[in-house]
Structure 1
Amino acid sequence: MQFKPFLLLLAVVAAQDDAFFECPESNGFFPDPEQCDKYYECVNKVPETKFCSDGLLFEASDPNNELCDYPFNVDCGAREFVQEPEPGLDIKCYRANGFFNHEDPLICNKYYNCVHGFPHAYECPPPLVFDEAQGTCVREEQASSFAKKCEKSDVKEEIEGFSCPDGETLGPNGQPLAHPSFPHPTSCRKYLTCYFSKDLNELGCTEGLVFDDRSNTCVPPEEGPKDCKCWYECDPKSDCPDSCNTDCSCS
């Protein structure tokens, strides 16, 4: 559907609506002519007024199907009104149900999925941005005019002096890695992963293991890089069993 703002309509008494609505068929589910989240269930030509849950709209293409769906899946046509939002909603939720922009105008890759008024936070994988009109993460060139526009920072994120390298990182088979990992500058247990070669994250192996950048896995110290063999403890037979370096050498 074409994304557009809806006009709020104060709720009216359902019994009054039933009296004015004429069922087009004996049985089925039929849309209100003006309000997109309101519909009628007709049984033997007798209508009963119904409303979709707050934030959802009535999908009117099949009178045999009672379906309320998200706005980006529903063509409302001339039905431009909707009910008032539920009172007392979390500030992150415009409506009790739906996918909504992050509250920070400078953040374009995060959003909320509100379910029964409770916001669940999500983040788009880089380089995607959230488009509220489409209810999903898209590339910037695919975003609608309703998607937020955020300025890009030229400053690369760093963790202890490390930043994701420019361009592709090739794996052992010569193929580009989607999420390459690198040794941590100061820790044998930790490692750094560049999701989509851009989004820098610090991760770690479980206790007792070290990161091996040759296999991109966590391994026992004796199977890992030479400079990490004594990361956890020194060899008791060492000349410096209490003060060895991570590569087992003595200072």
Structure 2
Amino acid sequence: MKTKLICLLVCLGAVNALTRKQEAAEQSRRKTASPSQKKEPVQEDEYEDEELADECPEPNGYFPDAEQCDKYYDCRDGKGTEKLCPDGLVFNDFSPQHEKCDLPFGIDCSKRLKLQKPQPSQHCPRMHGYFAHEDAKICDTFYYCVEGKFNMITCPDGLVFSEKTGICNWPDEAQKKGCGSRELFNFTCPKVDDSVAATHPRYADAEDCQYFYVCVNGEIPRRSGCKLGQAFDERTGKCDWARKIPECKDWYKGQLTDQELDALENPPPKPKPTGGPSRRKSSRPT
């Protein structure tokens, strides 16, 4: 009886041992069969290269950034190098073969509105560009900035600085707030019928004999002027020598002498060019 009990215990132990071995083998098999969840770390520079490569629609060339107008990519063999234009300039994407940064006027940045952080200095909101005067009431003065250094420029009489185009323009075209024709000139075009309006009628400037107003389509006033020594004649609607117009005959007194006015009205004839014989051939070749 004792011998049978010992044999039974040994056999049960052997069965349990076999079962544990089978379980261990099964777990090992499952680990080998299932894919590993551990991934190799991606190198940061490799990730950046992949990102910049996406900015290269062609293997070689210069291409704009999708969001920032003054950023672009120099692509070589499909690999892109990120670049920035000087502050105030934007990338001109007219051709992938040309690396060109320009003033923003005339370049479409409507879909690339972002810009780099400004680097302002005196009178220059950015290092490069044309910028309006700080005083909004000063309409005809602006600043031209290069490398953060400014030059102040004044528009010709009757024109104002246009922030949209970067040049001096007629007030109605510049559309700068507070710098319209009525605010600047204190003049309103008289109402006329359509036939007169079509001729763009002219009116004298009541305060300055040299200047006059052209009413475009009879409605929009533009201030224009005669050349030095002349005045606007209301009777003819044209410029003539001031001394010939009774109400303006003394307009230049104290500014120009009679001799200077005479020289303007009667300039000396230009001398005819002198030189050697003509180089033209006297006859056509036969």
Q: Which of the five TM-score ranges fits, normalised by the shorter chain?
A: 0.5 to 0.7
Alignment map for 1:1-251 (pairs within 5 Å): 19-22=50-53, 23-86=56-119, 89-90=121-122, 92-144=123-175, 147-150=176-179, 151-152=183-184, 164-165=208-209, 167=212, 169=231, 176-177=238-239, 185-186=253-254, 190-191=255-256, 211-216=259-264
Q: Deviations over 1:188-226 (max 9, x none)?
A: xx52xxxxxxxxxxxxx9xxxx84312228x9xxxxxxx
Look at both structures and tell me which one has the larger radius of gyration over its CA atoms. Answer: 2
More strand by share: 1
* Aligned match of 1:8: none
Provide runs of 4+ in structure 1 moved above 3 Å: 14-19, 174-186
State the superposition RMSD in angstroms. 3.5
Instruction: Quote how far apart the aligned CAs of 1:148 are.
Output: 3.7
> Which whole-Å CA distance do the structure 2 matches of 1:68 and 1:81 have between them?
15
Instruction: Quote how far apart the aligned CAs of 1:19 are.
Output: 5.0
Where does the alignment leave 5 or more consecutive residues of structure 1 unmatched? 1-13, 156-162, 192-204, 220-251
Q: What TM-score comes out, normalization by structure 1 length?
A: 0.58
Give the number of the structure with larger relative contact order, counting CA–CA contacts within 8 Å between residues 6 or more apart.
1
Q: What TM-score comes out, normalization by structure 2 length?
A: 0.52
Q: Deviations over 1:26-75 (max 9, x none)?
A: 10001111111000101111111111010011112311111111111211
The 1:154–1:78 alpha-carbon spacing in structure 2 relative to 1, beyond 3 Å, is closer
Aligned letter for 1:215? A
* Aligned match of 1:223: none
Q: Percent identity?
A: 35
> Which whole-Å CA distance do the structure 2 matches of 1:36 and 1:72 have between them?
12
The 1:179–1:48 alpha-carbon spacing in structure 2 relative to 1, beyond 3 Å, is farther
The aligned length equals: 173
The 1:180–1:128 alpha-carbon spacing in structure 2 relative to 1, beyond 3 Å, is farther
The 1:143–1:154 alpha-carbon spacing in structure 2 relative to 1, beyond 3 Å, is closer
> Which whole-Å CA distance do the structure 2 matches of 1:111 and 1:30 have between them?
32
